[in-house]
Amino acid sequence: MAAAATSAATTIPKPSAHLSSSSRSSISISRFTLPLSLNPQKTIPHRSLHISNAVSKPTTPAPSSSFSSSSSTSTTTRQESPPRFSPDEARKGADILVEALERQGVTDVFAYPGGASMEIHQALTRSPIIRNVLPRHEQGGVFAAEGYARASGKPGVCIATSGPGATNLVSGLADALLDSVPIVAITGQVPRRMIGTDAFQETPIVEVSRSITKHNYLVLDVDDIPRIVSEAFFLATSGRPGPVLIDVPKDIQQQLAVPNWNTPIKLPGYMSRLPKVPNDSHLEQIVRLIFESKKPVLYVGGGCLNSSEELRKFVELTGIPVASTLMGLGAFPVGHELSLQMLGMHGTVYANYSVDKSDLLLAFGVRFDDRVTGKLEAFASRAKIVHIDIDSAEIGKNKQPHVSVCADVNFALQGMNKILESRNAKSKLDFRAWREELNEQKSKYPLKYKTFGHAIPPQYAIQVLDELTNGNAIISTGVGQHQMWAAQFYKYKRPRQWLTSGGLGAMGFGLPAAVGAAVANPGAVVVDIDGDGSFIMNVQELATIRVENLPIKIMLLNNQHLGMVMQWEDRFYKANRAHTYLGDPSRESEIFPNMLKFAEACGIPAARVTRKEDLRMAIQNMLDTPGPYLLDVIVPHQEHVLPMIPSGGLLKM
C-alpha cells in the first residue's frame, strides 16, 4: 500500500494506492482513488516490547529547528534518538512514527488518547525524549500546540484519536492556517479495511480538513511513515507556515516494519514554487520610492515576526514610522518612538491617520485583511503601495500594489538594508516633518478610557499588568473586547510575546495557548488575559495546568457578558440584548458562574478583585504566587473598545 499525498509533480512510487491529499491553493495536487482491497501484509518476525509507564525525561530539551517564513533553503534539524531498536530490527508503525518525531527534534506533544490512537500513546511511553502534556479536550490540545509554536518558533505537535477526536481539532487547524502557524496534527484512523464502512468513530478527517490545512496525508503503507513525517515538518515550516495533518490507520500503527530513515522527501512541485531570494533590481526600485517619498509608513504583519532584527535596522536607517497589524504586534517594539501601535478597526487614530495620509505604504508580511483596510477603495488611496510577502497568492488578492516582491521578508529587508547603507540613507533621508505631524496626532488622540468610580476599567488592569511585568510577559488571550484591550494597552517589546487568534477569532484560545507557551518557555512569565465568555469555553484545561504545575497566571476580565457582541448591539442594534448576558438572570446581583470555584476544583489559588484601589496589590500577589493563579477582575460591562471604525467603514478625522 502506498503513501498519501504529495505535490502534483511528485513521483508516486507505488501507484496501486488510495491517495488523499490537500494543499494551499498555490500548489496543484493530483488525486486518484482505487478500491480498498489490500495486499497481504509483509510477514515480519514479532518482537516482544517492554512498556513502561514511567519514563525519565532529559532535563535539557533536545535541539529543534525554529520555523520561519523561509525560502527554499529551509531545513529541519534532526535528532538521533537513543537506540531502542537495532537498525535492522522490526518495530511497530507507532514506534516508527514516534521515532520519526524524535528525529525532527520534537520534545513535547499535546496528545489525548482514544481507541484508534492507543498504539501511538503506547509508543510515546517508550520514548525517553518526548513528553506528552495531556490536555483535557482535543481542542485544548491543538490550541496548546499553536501556543507552543507561536511562542517558541518551533512547530507544535498534537495527537488525537479518530472520529470525534479528530473533528475536535478542526477549529485549531483552521486557526493555524489563517494565522500561518506551523503545527503537525496526527490522528488515529480506523483500520484500512474499515475505511469507508461508517465504522465506529470513523470520520474522513483528510476530506474534512482539506480546505483548512496546508497539506494532509492518509498513511497507507507503514514504510512511508519516515518520509511522510519529514515532509510534514518541512511543509509546515517552509514557505508560508501552516498546519499539516497526518492520518494513521490503526493497523498501520500495529504493523511491524524496519524503517528506512534515508528516504528523501518527494515534493518537487512544492519546492519549485517556494520563493527565491529577491531580485536586487526590485529592491533598488523600493529604495528609490523611499527616497522620493515625503510621508512613508510601514504596515507590518505576522510575516515580519521572524524579521524583527532586520526590521528594526530598516527603521533606524530610514526613520519611517511603523504601524502594526494585530498579528504583527511585537515585531517592532510597541513602546518605540516610531511605533504607531496597531492600525485597523480598533487601531490607534494616529496609525490609521498615517496610512490615510501617506504617499508610500510599505506593506511587509501582511494580507490587507478587512479588519485593517475597512473600505478597500479608500485604504491608502493617496499612496504608492509596495507589498512584500512570501505567499504569492496574497499579492494583489485584496489590494493591487504598485510594486510587489514575492519573497521571505527577512531576505528582502536584508537586501534593502545593504542598499540603504551603501547610499548613506541614515544621513540623507529626512522625514522629521512627517513624524512631527504624526506626533501631533498622538498628542490629540491618545488611547484613553472612561473611569467608573471605584470600578475597575479593564484597560487600567492591563496597564498595571504591563507595568508590573515591565512589558516582558508572554500574553495569550481569548477573543473579544479583552483581546483588543490587550492589543492596545500592553507594550510588547519583542516577537512571540503576543499569542492570539487573529484570523479565525476562536474563543477559548487563550488558556490552552498559555499551556503551550509555558511548556515551550519554562522560565517565562505567561499570562492569559481572558474574558469570562472565552475562558469558560476551555476551562477544563485548568486541570492540565495544575497537574503539569505550569506557572500560568490567568487575569480574567469578567463583565458577565459577551462583551464585543454586546458592544455591537449597543452601536448597531439599539442596545437590544440578544443572548449576550452570561450571568444568571434570576440573580443579576451575583457573579455567575463563580470562576473561583473552577480554580478551587483544580487546586489552583484564586482571588477576586472588584475595586480599582485594590487592583495593583491583587495583580502583584498573582505574579508573586508560585505556580498557577487565577485573578477574577470584575469590570463594568458598559465599557466599549475604542477607537472603532465599523466594518467596511472609513476613517473620519
Strand spans (E) along 490-579: 498-499, 526-531, 552-558
User: What SS3 state is found at 9?
Assistant: coil
* Distances in whole angstroms, Cα of residue 143 to Cα of each of 450, 499, 500, 512: 34, 11, 10, 6
Active-site annotation holder among 99, 102, 119, 138: 138
In sequence order, what are the residues at sequence separation of 6 or more whose Cβ sits closer than 8 angstroms to the Cβ of residue 73? none
Q: Return the SS3 of 560.
A: coil
- The contacts of residue 534 (CB under 8 Å, 6+ apart) are 477, 478, 479, 480, 482, 507, 508, 509, 510
Catalytic residue at 459? Answer: no
**Nine cell digits for residue 163:** 472520529
Cα distances (Å, whole numbers) of residue 331 to 278, 305, 367: 21, 5, 16
- 138 carries an active-site annotation: yes
Residue with cell 476544583: 601
Question: CB of 157 within 8 A of CB of 169?
Answer: no
Query: What whole-number distance in Å separates Cα of residue 24 and Cα of residue 178?
Result: 11
Alpha-carbon torsion 77, 83, 88, 93, what sign? negative
Q: Is 202 a catalytic residue?
A: no
3-state class (DSSP) for residue 7:
coil
Catalytic residue among 214, 250, 295, 491: 250
Check residue 1 and report its DSSP letter.
-
Which is the catalytic residue, given 201, 254, 285, 540?
A: 201
Among residues 328, 380, 384, the alpha carbon closest in space to that of 357 is found at 380
Is 92 an annotated catalytic residue? Answer: no
* Residue 385 main-chain phi, psi, to 5 deg: -110, 125
CA pair distance 458, 456, nearest whole angstrom? 6
Query: Which entry of 42, 57, 80, 200 is annotated as an active-site residue?
Result: 200
Among positive and negative, which fits the CA dihedral 120, 121, 127, 130?
Answer: positive
Residue 477, SS3 per DSSP: strand
Torsion of CA 510, 513, 518, 521, to 10 degrees: -120
Beta bridge partners of 111: 159
> Is the bond preceding residue 15 a cis peptide, omega within 30 degrees?
no
121: left (phi over 0), alpha (psi -120 to 50) or beta: alpha
Assess whether 201 carries a catalytic annotation. yes
User: CA nearest 172: which of 189, 154, 155, 185?
Assistant: 185
Pick the catalytic residue from 507, 564, 566, 595: 564
d(CA 526, CA 516): 10
Pairing of strands 256-257, 91-92: antiparallel
Number of Cβ within 10 Å of residue 406's Cβ equals 19
User: Which residues carry out catalysis?
Assistant: 138, 200-201, 250, 564
